[in-house]
Chains A and B, each alone.
Chain A
Amino acid sequence: MDLVKVKNLSRSFDVSKPWLNRVIERQPKLFLKAVSEVDFDIAERSTYALVGESGSGKSTIGRMLVGLLTPSDGNVEIEGVDLAHETDAAKVAAVRADIQMIFQDPYASLNPRWRVRDIIVEPVLAQGGDTAGLAERLLEQVGLSAEDAGKFPHEFSGGQRQRICIARALSSEPRLIVCDEPTSALDVSVQAQVLNLMSDLKDSFGLTYLLISHDLTVVQHMADRIGVLYLGRLVEEADPDTLFSDPKHPYTQMLLEAAPRLDAFGREVTPPEGEIPNPIDPPTGCAFHPRCPLAVDRCRTERPELREIGTSRAACHLAE
């Protein structure tokens, strides 16, 4: 059973100069296509991970899923309801309550003037639910103590704050949690604590995660299925074992090769060529072709579609 269905999802941002500049300099409007025609499904009670480098559109997809951004094209269906187009307000409200989000920076995502108790129960209050003893119970579930409910966010360390963010996300009993780089701001030993907590909560609450990360080791550890993004497009999708043992797309191969490894002492790698191109003016054909070691003429003119290869999907003319 798929909880989330993403179909043909696209989002572009207007990055034009102001009107007067455009008229004087005779420049057209400029659009940045952050996400183009992305398709994927997330099965219930699984973890779907989106990986990619900066500018690949992974956070934009996460924001569209929770409704912080509206799609320019395509749609996101959660529990069979398309939030951007559904007109029945009651249906939308019911689905909204099932979605929560955890952000990257635990310092920026907690209001410093609120007590932890108020922060945690806010999602429930907003829906008019009963909040008696809720914050205390959740704090214990995420490994803090009930007395912490009366404190302010500045009294906690980064890892503890991220636990508070998780408690807040859990308070409205959601089914889907979008985690945008939940451990990037944390130290390794604290990251392990938070990842373990996320796994435990997933089992006990029957949660579904969309995990957005740039860290391949975290993704490999947590995900049931992984989508690799490059310049706003899904270039490969597979389960972790297949992706890491047999990557089909040259970009995935490059990422895996370039990622630092703990067991690779003094490894001599030929570092990947080039950088991510400008998304306002992406290359023609396959967006990866200027950096791809295998690129042929066809890659420069024709954009590869995502096609099924075994259990994975890859968008490459040459992949097999």
Chain B
Amino acid sequence: MTDPVLSIRDLSVEIPTRKGVVCPVDSVSYDIAPGEILGVVGESGAGKSMAGNAVIGLLNPPARIAKGEIWLNGTRIDQLSGDAMRRLRGKEIGMVFQDPLTSLNPLLQIGDQLTETMLTHLDISRSEAEQRAIAALQEVGIPGAADRLNSYPHEFSGGMRQRVVIALALCAEPSLVIADEPTTALDVSVQAQIVALLKKLCRERGTAIMLITHDMGVIAEAADRVAVMYAGRLAELGPVREILTSPSHPYTDGLMASTPLASRGKSRLHQIPGSMPRLNAIPDGCAFNPRCPYAADKCRHDPGPQGAEGRAACWFPIVRERTA
């Protein structure tokens, strides 16, 4: 197996508050290999974005990394200084956020934004940067790329803006792209275009992508492996087909069952009682125990095994006959 691009080891993020320390990410570990799309799913408050922000060093104080290690291409990056981290962002790690308007500067033409990024991170001349900017826009499927270099962000539609953001994330040829809900603000047909684009770029360039989303459908179509998060902990991690068709953590199982599906017809949807606990009120033991149909005494006291590749964070994982 090739060395992973990104390796997160036992990462915890904590936020000190007046009422004590809360822990939005709790002992999470996962790897992403080159050319792989790792889907990170969870409901709001599961800590999936917080983990992504920790990797790129954009945690808003007072949030901070409490323990754990983040390795990027064999270098430990969680202890880098602000300056060194800034050089790394954009160069080694590209980012795509949910709202394309907030990630583009409304006062700068997109050509300038692209060339500025490349001139900062790569040792190339301005004219070469412009050539590359045109190539990058063509690659993400913007028609008439050369003419659109002088356009401002507001002249593009939502889907086109997200393409510009992807071009911007990829223009310095990073080895890892973190895409945080890249399609949530977009319509279904445009979402399909953006997902197809991410898959194509990942395959052609061997870029590793960390795809953070709450949409199981997007994960099923795009991701190679999936990490399911619940209340800051990793519930389950594994190949996407395995996790989605035969989940072993009761939370994943409930989540899959509560998604409306054509094949289920009009019957009542399965529902998980209650909702995700607030960060300041995460229950003792396994965080899922108050909502879990299989919870036993043990689950209420002891958090159980840590989630890892092929191992659910559960005392009583669901075991199924493998159908395939």
Contact = CB atoms under 8 A, between A and B. Distances in A.
Nearest to A263: B220
Main secondary structure, interface of B, reads helix
A266 interface: yes
Nearest to A224: B266
Given A192-B258, A260-B215, A269-B196, A275 B157 contact: yes
B271 A265 contact: no
A121 B256 CA distance: 37
A271 B264 CA distance: 26
A244 interface: yes
B214 interface: yes
B193 A271 contact: yes
Given A188-B255, A217-B261, A218-B260, A266 B192 contact: no
B269 interface: yes
B42 to A, nearest CB: 9
Interface in A81-134: none
Given A189-B275, A195-B260, A196-B268, A258 B255 contact: no
Interface residues of A, number: 41
Interface string A18-46: 00000000000000000000000000000
B190 interface: yes
A189 B254 contact: yes
A1 interface: no
Given A196-B271, A258-B192, A262-B217, A187 B261 contact: no
Given A196-B268, A220-B260, A221-B266, A159 B221 contact: no
Interface string A199-215: 10000000000000010
Contacts of A255: 188-189
B218 interface: yes
Interface string A50-71: 0001100000000000000000
Given A188-B214, A189-B255, A221-B266, A53 B276 contact: no
Contact of A189 (B187, B190, B272): B272
Given A188-B43, A261-B221, A264-B220, A216 B188 contact: yes
B261 A192 contact: no
B259 interface: yes
A12 interface: no
Given A187-B43, A187-B276, A217-B259, A267 B221 contact: yes
Contacts of A189: 43, 254-255, 258, 271-272, 275
A157 interface: yes
Interface string B247-269: 00000001110111111101011
Contacts of A257: 192
Contact of B216 (A216, A258, A262): A262
B79 interface: no
Given A188-B214, A189-B43, A264-B221, A220 B188 contact: no
Contacts of A190: 43, 275
A262 B259 contact: yes
A193 interface: yes
A259 interface: yes
A160 B33 CA distance: 40
B187 A262 contact: no
A192 B187 contact: no
A272 B197 CA distance: 12
Which of A216, A257, A269, A275 gathers the greatest number of chain B CB atoms within 10 Å? A275
B103 interface: no
B134 interface: no
Which of A189, A190, A193, A269 gathers the greatest number of chain B CB atoms within 10 Å? A189
Which of B44, B216, B221, B240 gathers the greatest number of chain A CB atoms within 10 Å? B221
A160 B278 CA distance: 14
A271 B196 contact: yes
B241 interface: yes
Contact of A53 (B188, B216, B266): B188
B204 to A, nearest CB: 14
A191 interface: yes
13 contacts: A192-B259, A214-B188, A218-B260, A258-B188, A259-B192, A260-B191, A260-B215, A262-B220, A263-B263, A264-B221, A265-B220, A265-B244, A272-B193
Given A262-B256, A270-B196, 14 more contacts: A53-B187, A187-B275, A188-B214, A192-B260, A217-B262, A220-B262, A221-B260, A254-B189, A259-B188, A260-B191, A260-B192, A262-B244, A263-B263, A271-B197
Q: 10 closest Cβ contacts across the A-B interface?
A: A260-B217, A192-B258, A258-B192, A187-B43, A221-B260, A53-B187, A192-B269, A271-B193, A217-B260, A189-B272
